[in-house]
Structure 1
């Protein structure tokens, strides 16, 4: 399939998903598929449905948030392909393996899979997402990040293995990095020298990586996916969970945490203590072995994100770089030099 055919297919998938999301918001759909899972306190008929499409990017499952009379939300995930049953089974397995009811560390609860509609219903995670704390009280964020680190250690320390194992080559996503960089270089040829310098540092980090480090991983561990109450940490969006390099999850969380704090406050340094608390909690549970490849994964995330910022024009490398470019360059050097706790 060439690039034009791929774009056409992606556009067609998104168009179908738009139509499916609209149908999932209709009272007929909601009465048939969602109402039976709202609990004994929900009315058998009637009431006011409130719906909101919260994800519809054409690359995966479209997600619709559903509430009846302001009750607890349920999320309908509309899968465009045939991976829905595997995701449903994965969530059930994770909860059975210790991330379920009664635990302080939980995976989101699946309610039902409807094969005829390719829709997975999940209970809304209780509490507030960690991402809402990024611009607030530093102590609250630090405590929350320690709990997020403990949740991830619980997942990585599990003996459960579901999903196809992923090699370091896959989790390292170097082909994805190469594709984005190639596209950026075509439009911004002056950026190539800076990019090549960072690639040389990344290449040096690959020589210290270790193959065969596997754990049951999340696949998209981000502050926005971590929900907290006083007693429970619940994590959502485990669709991509599989046996993989655990350091990838750690790197993604820390990368997004630091950039999120910078975006919310203008000071990336305010993320230092929360990052340290996350790593301390994780290491306290599992030690250093799962983090053998952390510097490589973390540096790769930063470079990949910088390439996107160059593409959008937010980061400019010319004349020493604007503030956005300097932020990413400094973050990259900090990680590559081993000054980030990695």
Structure 2
């Protein structure tokens, strides 16, 4: 049985199917290298469901062993497994400082990827001063992992079109929705869109193409004494390296703002990340201001279509995004 459309109801039905005892005994337990699951208990729980048409589950066995699974409603399941397998076999395995989850199997009839978990604590835990990771050192290590990926010769998947990597279509869609939700803001919205258009007009034509992560966020980077491991490679494709670095700093700074972290600390972390990353991939600098600007506008239009100007959160979010746009458009690397 294979699900075709990513509805919440359908994923819910498939979740029930893949957490059944007979399914676990047939497909999951053999991944542990054992011949029989008789007498072994397993607790299956959903650990992530963000409404994107994908679910992440954890199978925890009574002997302390754990296997993770990701259930897909689209074609990204096969692609994600292929990316992890290729990276694991070509320098991102157990014997490397830079790692990805170990891929165990792809079950096409269930559109399910099985993998081992990664060790360590997420860099995101350092935002609020929690855990054992220092924020500045954490982002530097995240930059090193990204530099290692971008310097590799690995290429998996079709190269991403420029309009897709810059999220141009999504920016336009959110612009329309934001204008519909707040007609009084249309002049501002159009001014911002013109700023982005004028900015991107100067985007250099010849830029490097590397294997990108696709969703490189601080929550996806795990640090341990022996390794830096990164998860969530569903969107990994050949593209401009600036895409990953711009996405990392945009999400890091927005998360810091929403969490009430001192923005001076966030700026210090941004500088540390970019300094470390660009020392390894200096050619990414030429595209960084353009990608960063586009991604911030995408975030701004997203919040403007959800909130009204009378909302108590409106002004602070608006001020934050306008400051970020100014920073991104004027950045000098």
User: TM above 0.5, one fold?
Assistant: yes
Deviations 1:70-117 (A, max 9, x none): 724321112223443332222111122211121101122101112222
Report whether the alignment pairs 1:178 with 2:139: no
Specify the alignment match of 2:188 in structure 1: 194
Specify the alignment match of 1:216 in structure 2: 211
Deviations 1:44-95 (A, max 9, x none): 4333322222333553432212211272432111222344333222211112
SS in 2 for 1:77: strand
Deviations 1:311-330 (A, max 9, x none): 221x7399xx6112111111
Partner Cα separation in structure 2 for residue 70 and residue 185 of structure 1: 55
Specify the alignment match of 1:149 in structure 2: 143
Partner Cα separation in structure 2 for residue 317 and residue 283 of structure 1: 41
TM-score under structure 1 normalisation?
A: 0.88
Superposed, 1:32-43 pairs within 5 Å as 32-38=26-32
* Cα pair distance change 1:180/1:11, threshold 3 Å: farther
Superposed, 1:17-28 pairs within 5 Å as 17-28=11-22
1:293 to 277, 281, 287: 287
Contact kept, 8 Å, 2:8 with 2:53, in 1: the verdict is: no
How many aligned positions are there?
Answer: 328
Q: CA RMSD in A?
A: 2.5
TM-score under structure 2 normalisation?
A: 0.90
**5+ unaligned residues in a row in structure 2: which ranges?**
none
Contact kept, 8 Å, 1:17 with 1:56, in 2: the verdict is: no
Superposed, 1:234-253 pairs within 5 Å as 234-253=229-248
**5+ unaligned residues in a row in structure 1: which ranges?**
1-8
* Cα pair distance change 1:43/1:130, threshold 3 Å: farther
1:128 to 104, 121, 127: 121
How far 1:43 moved relative to its partner? 8.2
* Cα pair distance change 1:273/1:317, threshold 3 Å: farther
Partner Cα separation in structure 1 for residue 228 and residue 286 of structure 2: 26
Partner Cα separation in structure 2 for residue 12 and residue 38 of structure 1: 29
Specify the alignment match of 1:86 in structure 2: 79
